[in-house]
Amino acid sequence: MDVPILLVIAVTLTCGMYMVLERTLLRVVIGLGLMSNGVNLMLLASGGLGAGTAPILHGQRDYGASPVDPLPQALILTAIVIGFGVTALLLTLAYRTYQSVGSDDLGELDGKLTDE
Amino acid sequence: MSNLPVLPVALPMAAGIALIFLRNSPSLSRAVALVANLIVLVLAAQLVETVRIDGVQVLNFGEWPAPFGIVFAVDMLSALMVLVTMVVSSATLLFATVSLDDARERTFFYPLFQFLLVGVNGSFLTGDLFNLFVWFEVLLISSYGLLALGSERYQLQETFKYLVINALSSTLFLIGVALIYSLTGTLNMADIAVKFPQISDKGSAGAVAIVFMLVFGIKGALFPVYQWLPRAYFAPPAVISGLFGGLLTKVGVYALYRVTSLFFVGNVNFVLPVLSFIAGATMLFGVLGALSQFDMKRVLSYHIISQIGYMIMGLAIFTPLALAGGVFYIIHHILVKTALFLVAGAVEATRGTTHLKRLGGIVDTSPVLTGLFFVAGLALAGAPPLSGFVAKFMLMQGGLEQHFYIMVGASVVTGFLTLFSMMKIFRYAFWSPEQVPFSGRGGHATRLVSITILVGLGIVLGLGAGFAMPYATIAAEQLIDPSAYIAAVLGSQAR
């Protein structure tokens, strides 16, 4: 189970990074979205993967054989919400930038660092 | 257990929510924001005294015992950072009330300002690694809003770049969290500090160190990932740049202090040597960038980078003296750098530009502002008896004792070049005859008051170093020997 999920994480992160390095505003946004999904999978894998029982107490004192770790899921939930908010903001900002610059090419966004 | 540690987060949050509904009455917004800030300032001072007398303060949320629930753990460094945050944010807020245009005041400047403080204070106070990530996001999202406020073309394009680089570093932060969780099985920072030495795979521990140095290096604008800073901080009005320049990068520096002292020192051998190289390079490249600029705000932005090098120098040497110097430097820098940006803001508000070749003769129109800039510039360069001198003296003394001759040499060179660059601004903008005829009104007295508070504190911190130093020393000792921090957080578990 470990190797397949590692491959999925690696491919998602690589594709995301490739798109972040593109010159089009929208592709950068999509690339960041892909990367945050890849990291969410990584958080999922950090708790250990495998068949375990649900970590819920049903009246008895212990969880049974081997409960799965519930914490990574809580982390992922938080990370998804934050990622969602940031992506929404990023899309809005990309659209407003496109409107005011008149181009979606990042090369046009080169703020001059010297006299203007 | 008292609720004091959570108040610097809870009160600005409440104020921020209330201010959303007050957006149509700027005068009421100003009053509410200022009063809220001053209350939290008093609470922060109380927190510092509590930590000095009673040691590390811990608050377990929902009474969950330490490694399971989320904790706020406040040692001297955290408390000092919160206090100085509230000091500069109060001064900046006072400045903003008379400097911002009506449109920006009405488009949620005050709520965003308060939410930024929520994020900054939360980052300083939390004792949980994932919680630190969440507070970083809170402060970053507020900072995106503040940077883009006004929606000028330059602001929008720079905010987009700033957002992308920060989203990328947040992604890396989560990768670091996932790595550390899979290695230690905990996210409580004190608990990680206990379990980190037990990691059998030293290579993975090193990878965690690299990820966190990169993440906080991007947030704190260290060499070689500082290029985002000068452009982003040039975009907004000087009030907002001043707040960012004083506070935001220092959150990254604080986090680097925290994770290095708790996790990496003694466990990952290459961290301190790499940091000492980064410190020297950050100083030199930052100050060389500043020399090449001819705009006040850009020069000051590059100086932020070079001075972050000094803070990392204290961390890289890692002796009580150098760390106390580093903590002292952070506090000095937040006060003085914000003051300098506010001077640039006052110049921008009266003259309409901060470009050095289009300024001049400010000494005639506003002599007080000139004096304030002169003192703040000297403090930044490290002239005695001002605050920068004390901090740099401790850092260099600490460096020489540990034979870091190259880094101390770099810091001396950087100090001279900083002085040169401050004198360049002084000569062109203040001292020289007017290069472009100017016939506007003078500055606003309230602006001078807020700058005077910050510069005055810089002088007090230099002359009264004997009074301020014990606090920095306590912070440094707690960083070198985190056992008190760990015991305070995990103590309830042992009972």
Residue A76: closest CA among chain B residues belongs to which residue? B174
Which residues between 353 and 412 in chain B have a beta carbon less than 8 angstroms from any beta carbon of chain A?
A: 355
* Within a domain: B75: no
Contact across the interface for A47 and B167, Cβ inside 8 Å: no
B431 and chain A in contact, CB less than 8 A? no
**Distant-in-sequence, close-in-space partners of B227: CB < 8 Å, separation ≥ 6:** none
- Among A84-98, B52-66, B123-137, B413-427, where is mean pLDDT lowest? B52-66
Q: Does A89 touch chain B (CB under 8 A)?
A: yes
Cα A68 to Cα A27: distance, rounded to the nearest angstrom: 37
Shortest CA distance to B291 belongs to which of B312, B306, B313?
B306
Cβ–Cβ gap B134/A39 under 8 Å: no
In tens, the pLDDT along A43-71 reads 988 877 776 777 777 766 666 667 788 88
Answer yes or no: is pLDDT of B443 > 80: no
pLDDT higher at B253 or B363: B253
First to last CA, chain A: 56
Chain B environment of A39 (Cβ under 8 Å): 171, 174-175, 178
CB-based contact B231 A100, cutoff 8 Å? no
Nearest-CA distance from B175 to chain A in Å? 6
Residue B416 domain-assigned? yes
Nearest-5° angle of CA B451, CA B7, CA B74? 90
**Closest chain B residue by Cα to residue A44:** B178
Between B122-126, B233-237, B299-303, B325-329, the lowest mean confidence (pLDDT) is in: B233-237
> What's the token pair of residue B10?
């809870």
B67-85 pLDDT tens trace: 888 899 999 999 999 999 9
Q: Which residue has the higher pLDDT, B384 or B407?
A: B407
Q: How near does any CA of chain A get to the CA of B26, in Å?
A: 25
Is residue A113 pLDDT above 80, yes or no?
no
| Cβ distance of A36 and B159 shorter than 8 Å | no
CA distance to partner chain B, nearest, from residue A113 (Å): 7
Q: Is residue A56 part of a domain?
A: no
Instruction: Tell me whether residues B134 and A47 touch, CB distance under 8 A.
Output: no
Residue A59 lies in a domain: no
Closest Cα partner for B121 from B189, B72, B65?
Answer: B72
How near does any CA of chain A get to the CA of B332, in Å? 28
Is the pLDDT score of B23 beyond 90?
no
Q: How confident is the model at residue B115 (pLDDT cuts 50, 70, 90)?
A: very high
> Within an 8 Å CB–CB cutoff, is residue A80 touching chain B?
no
Q: In this model, does residue B495 exceed pLDDT 60?
A: no
Whether residues A43 and B144 touch (CB distance < 8 A) is answered with: no
Q: Which domain range does residue A101 map to?
A: 2-49+70-105
Contacts of A36 in chain B (CB under 8 A): 167, 171, 174
Rounded to the nearest angstrom, the minimum Cα separation between A101 and chain B is: 7
B window 185-244, beta carbon within 8 A of A: 187, 230-231, 234-235
pLDDT per residue over B308-323, tens digit each? 999 999 999 999 999 9
Question: A56 — phi, psi (to 5°)?
Answer: -125, 135
User: Which residue, among B315, B339, B162, has the nearest Cα to B253 in the 3D structure?
Assistant: B315
Cα nearest neighbour of B355 on chain A: A115
Residue A54 in any domain: the answer is no
pLDDT at A112: 56
Give the residue-averaged pLDDT of B240-265: 91
**Cα angle B382, B387, B392; round to 5:** 50
Q: Which pLDDT value is given to residue B439?
A: 54
What is the percent of chain B where pLDDT is above 70?
97
Among chain B residues, CA nearest to A9: B175
> For residue B438, is it within any domain?
yes
Q: How far apart are CA B146 and CA B235, in angstroms?
A: 10
pLDDT value at residue B10: 93
Tell me, yes or no, whether B123 lies in a domain. no
Chain A CB contacts of B182 under 8 Å are 45-48
Please tell me which residue of chain B has the smallest CA distance to A115. Answer: B294
Evaluate whether residue A64 is within a structural domain. no
Contact criterion met (CB below 8 Å) for B110 and B33? yes
Contacting residues for A78 by C-beta, under 8 A, at least 6 apart: B130, B134
* Helices marked H in A1-116: 2-20, 25-46, 71-101
B63 SS3 class = helix
Q: How far is A35 from chain B (nearest CA, A)?
A: 7
Asked if the structure places residue B428 within a domain, the reply is yes
Looking at residue B437, what is its pLDDT?
64
Q: Is it the case that residue B92 has pLDDT exceeding 80?
A: yes
Residue B157 with chain A: CB contacts under 8 Å: 97, 100-101, 109, 111
According to DSSP H, which parts of A58-111 are helical?
A: 71-101
Of the listed ranges B86-100, B130-144, B348-362, B394-408, the one predicted with least confidence: B348-362
Looking at the complex, report in whole angstroms how far the Cα of residue B294 sits from the nearest Cα belonging to chain A. Answer: 8
Sign of CA dihedral B137, B140, B146, B149: negative
The complex scores an ipTM of 0.91
**Eight-class DSSP state of A22:** S
**Is A101's Cβ below 8 Å from some Cβ in B?**
yes
Question: Taking CB atoms and an 8 Å cutoff, what residues of chain A touch B171?
Answer: 32, 35-36, 39
Provide the number of structural domains found in chain A. Answer: 1
In a domain, B235, yes or no: no
* Residue B346 exposure: Cα atoms within 13 Å on the Cβ side: 30
B328 falls in which pLDDT band (50, 70, 90)? very high
Show the domain range for B371: 270-463
Q: Is residue B188 part of a domain?
A: no
Q: Residue B152 in 3-state DSSP?
A: coil
Inter-chain CB proximity B179 and A82 less than 8 Å: no
CB B251 within 8 A of CB B122: no
DSSP-assigned beta bridge partners for residue B453: none
**CATH code, A32:** 1.10.287.3510
> A44: distance to nearest CA of chain B, Å?
8
A78 lies within 8 A of chain B by CB = yes
Could you give the number of structural domains in chain B? 1
- Chain A residues in contact with B168 (beta carbon < 8 A): 20, 32, 35
Cis, bond preceding B224 (omega within 30 deg of 0): yes
CB pairs under 8 A between A and B: 97
Cα B9 to Cα B213: distance, rounded to the nearest angstrom: 26
Residue B134 lies in a domain: no
Q: Is the pLDDT of residue B492 over 70?
A: no
Please indicate if any CB of chain B lies within 8 Å of the CB of A25: yes
Angle, in degrees to the nearest 10, between helices B445-463 and B387-401: 40
Q: Tell me if B168 and A43 make a contact (CB, 8 A cut-off).
A: no
pLDDT at B353 over 90: no
CB–CB of A100 and B167 under 8 A? Answer: no
Give the CA count within 13 Å in the CB-facing half-sphere of B348: 26
The alpha-carbon gap from B360 to the nearest alpha carbon of chain A, in Å, equals: 17
Which chain B residues are closer than 8 Å to A96 by Cβ? Answer: 148, 151, 156
Average pLDDT along chain B: 89
Of the partner residues B153, B156, B163, the one whose CB lies closest to the CB of residue A90: B163
DSSP assignment of B235-251 equals SS-HHHHHHHHHHHHHH
Going from the C-alpha of B187 to that of each of A4, B130, B175, the distances in angstroms are 26, 7, 13
